[in-house]
Chain A
Amino acid sequence: DTAVSQTPKYLVTQMGNDKSIKCEQNLGHDTMYWYKQDSKKFLKIMFSYNNKELIINETVPNRFSPKSPDKAHLNLHINSLELGDSAVYFCASSQTDRAYEQYFGPGTRLTVT
């Protein structure tokens, strides 16, 4: 059974489009995250979310927004895509009191043309 899953695995789209990446975890965790890994492999936190609060990295453009329909899902919506958004996006989850032990999804490679 996949612990943290993401769809799609690959996403190719044009500048200006709006797209979403879905994330689901079946670990019973109460905190979920989105990370961006750029071409230089730098992994950077974008959002941290549990049922109480959303923590946003202040450097993330407001074109990016997380949406959580329930505890097991945290989807990433991106509006007006730009070339610089091309990267691998990882979803992760953890228990709030064990935030260091994060389980990562397989990643979604987004290419903006």
Chain B
Amino acid sequence: QKEVEQNSGPLSVPEGAIASLNCTYSDRGSQSFFWYRQYSGKSPELIMSIYSNGDKEDGRFTAQLNKASQYVSLLIRDSQPSDSATYLCAVMGRYSTLTFGKGTMLLVSP
């Protein structure tokens, strides 16, 4: 059973701080990793993808991947109250299907 693990949170940060969200995965052969954001009562939306070790930046978001440690993270700089949501880590598996973690709830307080 391939697994993706995340701390369910909530992770609380003040506005303007850096939020750090973490994810580990069990399948050492995984190559593709994604972060989805899900607002309460809404559907998930893709915000970041990463395939190579290191950092990938997109605006206020930075995804980090360490395949040796089987670890993926998402950093959100200058966190805003509108970033308050659940962040789902996902790993591409067999048959090009996504395996999601349970998500980390982020709360950004004004």
Contacts and interface: CB of A to CB of B under 8 A. Distances in A.
Contact of A99 (B96, B99, B103): B96
Contacts of A42: 100, 102-103
Interface in B82-99: 86, 88, 90, 92, 95-99
Interface string B48-84: 0100000000000000000000000000000000000
Contacts of A107: 42-43
Interface string B25-47: 00000001010001000111110
Interface residues of B, number: 21
B43 A106 contact: yes
B102 A45 contact: no
Nearest to A104: B43
A41 B86 contact: yes
Contact of B32 (A45, A55, A57, A100): A100
A100 B100 contact: no
A100 B95 CA distance: 11
A83 interface: no
Given A48-B95, A55-B95, A100 B49 contact: yes
A43 B46 contact: no
Given A40-B102, A99-B96, A104-B45, 10 more contacts: A42-B103, A43-B44, A48-B96, A57-B97, A99-B97, A100-B34, A100-B49, A100-B96, A100-B98, A104-B44
Interface of A: 31, 33, 40-45, 48, 55, 57, 90, 96, 99-102, 104-107
20 contacts: A41-B38, A41-B103, A42-B102, A42-B103, A43-B88, A44-B100, A45-B97, A45-B98, A48-B97, A55-B95, A57-B97, A90-B43, A99-B92, A100-B46, A100-B49, A100-B92, A102-B98, A104-B44, A106-B43, A107-B43
